[in-house]
Amino acid sequence: MKNVIEPCCIATQLPQVMKTAKQGVFYSNGDWGVKALMNAVSYLVEKDATVVLLMPTVNVWFCRVLRDWLQRGWMDCVVLATRENCAALVAGELSGLENRVLYMCRKNLNMEAFIRYNQTQKMAVMGPLRVENCNEFCSYSYVRGVSWEEFGAVVSPIVALFAAKKRGIKGKCEGVKRWVNRGFIGGETANRKEEG
């Protein structure tokens, strides 16, 4: 199976790669961005999806993509962390949807990820998430369809990034609350207390 994903074929190639195994790797020449990735594989996790994005930065156009997806019901909520401070941009572009958005600037963020899950399906893709093409050869890893415990092992460390936001989730939708409280881990509830 070809696992260098080209921009002309990402919508067909990438889902095929991700359907062949529960975890794996694929590659890009940096000629497609985060929007193309989301468009290609989001259908693998259907309705009521919580989306988590770790990115270097966002721009106005990508924020408008997030707004569009939230308004269309293509995702239930979005949890977003960027290395560059994009708080004003995110607040302005996603105004009126604050209860479905959790944003954080994390200056030491040095990883990128697209996570999408609901009550029955889960997927995590780790690798460069850029709003524009970076034109650099890069690798991605993914997990999809693994057990909740395996999924938790992959994404629980990422939840720790949002520990400081735990006090500020009052009024947020259930998807945001479940993320921050690790409610995605099978057998655990949204009221699970933080260890340590």
**pLDDT tens readout for residues 40-99:** 999 999 889 999 999 999 999 999 999 999 999 999 999 999 999 999 999 999 999 999
Whichever domain contains 172, its CATH number is: 3.30.870.10
| Residue 100 falls inside a structural domain | yes
Within-domain flag for 120: yes
* 8 Å CB contact between 103 and 80: yes
Q: Which domain, by its residues, includes 30? A: 10-180
Indicate whether 109 belongs to any domain.
yes
The C-alpha atoms of residue 124 and residue 115 are separated, in whole angstroms, by 4
- Show Cβ contacts of residue 64 under 8 Å, excluding neighbours closer than 6 positions: 93
Is 25 within a domain? yes
* Domain membership flag for residue 195: no
Q: Is residue 193 part of a domain?
A: no
C-alpha span between 196 and 190 (Å, rounded): 17
Report yes or no on 160 lying in a domain.
yes
- Convert the pLDDT of each residue in 111-163 to its tens digit: 999 999 999 999 999 999 999 888 899 999 999 999 999 999 999 999 988 88
Q: Identify whether 94 is part of a domain.
A: yes
Q: What is the pTM (predicted TM-score) of this model?
A: 0.91
Number of domains, the chain: 1
